[in-house]
Structure 1
Amino acid sequence: MNYLEKEIDSVLEKQNLANKKLNEIELANLINDLTIAFFSPPAKNLDPYFLKNTEKKHDPELWKKVDTLDDLEYPTLIVHDNKTHAWKLESSTDLKALLFETTGFPFWIIGNNFKTLRYMDDHDCVHTCIKPNK
């Protein structure tokens, strides 16, 4: 079925937005890295329940201002329909253009500096987790 994957691929193509769709191995590695950096054990996948030190707030407008967020250079968008999919984009402006043209859906976003992970759930609650400095 992969309805989100098809919709996102279609918008990326129509908008001519540069992107790199992660293959299964890249996606598995990304999810593993994210769970180690941002989640408490026993998390094995992207489950907001296990996020460490999360700030939550209701923000139905996040997608409209995603291009103004800190730590979101070269963002990666992660979604889940019947399986998980991810795309690396060139800019948060491109991410905003993509989100503006798609139906609302829960999503994860992280920049290439791997510092701040955000999740917007289907109730417009934004979960923000900043990686602690070691």
Structure 2
Amino acid sequence: VTANVGSLFDDPENLQKNWLREFYQALGSFYFLHESLKNIYQFDFKAKKYRKVAGKEIYSDTLESTPMLEKEKFPQDYFPECKWSRKGFIRTRWCIADCAFDLVNIHLFHDASNLVAWETSPSVYSGIRHKALGYVL
């Protein structure tokens, strides 16, 4: 399917309302488990207990409606120059063969200027990343 995106806005009164709403996500993850693994459990954060993983499971709804992960945004004071931010992380918790661990997908910060970042090592922006990683841990 192709579309001329510019033409979508030729008649904004007749557009579907949810096309004009911001509802995108910047985070997502795929987990592939080898068939040789046994006793695989994933944590259900809403029920607060592990659930056995069997077969293929696909969660394609919003992150907020998926019980098998925890989503959190970084505090707003991490980005004082932005009025809002999508930066944050999602966490999944697994137990495989009696070994429990978390996997975290972090949506960190881009360098506001590659030229400024290049001038010093470590980058002036590395402090923000360090602070965010400390928050997650």
> Which TM-score applies when normalising by structure 2?
0.28
Larger radius of gyration: 2
TM-score normalised according to structure 1 size: 0.29
* Structure number having the greater helix percentage: 1
